[in-house]
Amino acid sequence: MDPSGTLHWDLNAIATALKISREDALRYFTDGRRISFIVERRLAAEVIHGTLALSEGAGYDVLDPEGGKWEVRSVTNGGVYFCPSYMVGSGRSFAEAGFLQKLDDIKGYILADVTLFPDVPFWIIPVATVRQWHLGRQLGSCTKINRLRALQLIRGIE
């Protein structure tokens, strides 16, 4: 599957505006924890034409005009995960029931490959595809996969 689109930024303008080097801007904006805030807003406004979730703690990131809920995930050098955020991090564990509930609650995922910043391709993936990946055991035991695997799965979508 080709990217659904690409978000573009002017790296020189960002570095200048922030008064940091291009290298520091690249380092900062290829970190999924940092760029996700901006990617979510651009996708909501420019692609989905919807709104952001009412709170950071919601089980989704973007609401489309029809009320469909979308989860935005950054694909980084560390990979990407599909389970709810509350299952990721030190001292947290994966629970399949919670993951399956998440799949029931959302319309799909928007995966953004932030490793390629300042040009960030993204893919709009329906929840049925992610469910199929999970049932086919293609996502791993806790739904986190490395970047290469994520791109392979995306390329396999017809």
pLDDT per position as a tens digit, 37-62 = 999 999 999 999 999 999 988 989 99
Half-sphere exposure of 101 (CA within 13 A, CB side): 8
Q: CA dihedral in degrees (55, 61, 63, 67; nearest 10)?
A: -90
Class of domain 5-155: alpha beta
Whether the per-residue pLDDT at 89 is higher than 60: the answer is: no
Report yes or no on whether pTM surpasses 0.75. Answer: yes
Amino acid 152: pLDDT? 95
Report pLDDT digits (tens) over 76-87.
999 998 876 655
Average pLDDT over every residue of 111-130: 97
The percent of residues above 90 in pLDDT, for the chain, comes to 75
Domains of the chain: which residue ranges?
Answer: 5-155
Asked whether residue 98 carries a pLDDT value surpassing 90, the answer given is no
